[in-house]
Amino acid sequence: MIRGSIVALITPMTANGQVDYPTLEKLVEFHVQAGTHGIVAVGTTGESATLPVDEHVKVVETVVKVVNGRIAVIAGNGANSTAESIELSKRMAHSGIDAFLSVTPYYNKPSQLGLIKHFEAIADSSEIPQILYNVPGRTAVDMLPPAVAELSKHERIIGIKEATGDIERLIEIKNLVADDFSLLSGDDASSLAFLKAGGHGVISVTANIAASEIAQICDLAQAGKFDEAKVIDDKIQVLHDKLFIESNPVPVKWALYRMGLIPESVFRLPLLNPEPNSQLVIEQALQQSGFLNA
For the range 29-34, what are the long-range contacts, defined as Cβ-Cβ under 8 Å and sequence gap of 24 or more? Answer: 29/66, 30/211, 30/261, 31/7, 31/71, 31/207, 31/211, 32/66, 32/67, 32/70, 32/71, 34/211, 34/212, 34/215
d(C-alpha 221, C-alpha 176), whole Å: 22
DSSP state of 216: H
For 72, phi and psi rounded to 5 degrees? -75, 145
Cβ(254)–Cβ(45) below 8 Å: no
206 is annotated as contributing to ligand binding: no
Catalytic residue among 58, 153, 161, 257: 161
Cβ(264)–Cβ(14) below 8 Å: yes
Q: Is 257 a catalytic residue?
A: no
CB atoms near residue 94 (< 10 Å) = 9
| CB proximity list for 155: less than 8 A, separation 6 or greater | none
Catalytic residue among 107, 133, 196, 230: 133
End-to-end CA distance of the chain: 41
Q: Is 161 a catalytic residue?
A: yes
d(C-alpha 13, C-alpha 128), whole Å: 28
CA atoms within 13 A on the CB side of 293: 1
203 is annotated as contributing to ligand binding: yes
d(C-alpha 251, C-alpha 283), whole Å: 10
Compute CA 104 distance to the chain's CA centroid, rounded to the nearest angstrom.
14
Listed residue (99, 32, 109) closest to 60, CA to CA: 99
Task: List, by residue number, the catalytic residues.
Answer: 133, 161
Binding site residues for pyruvate, as ranges? 45, 203
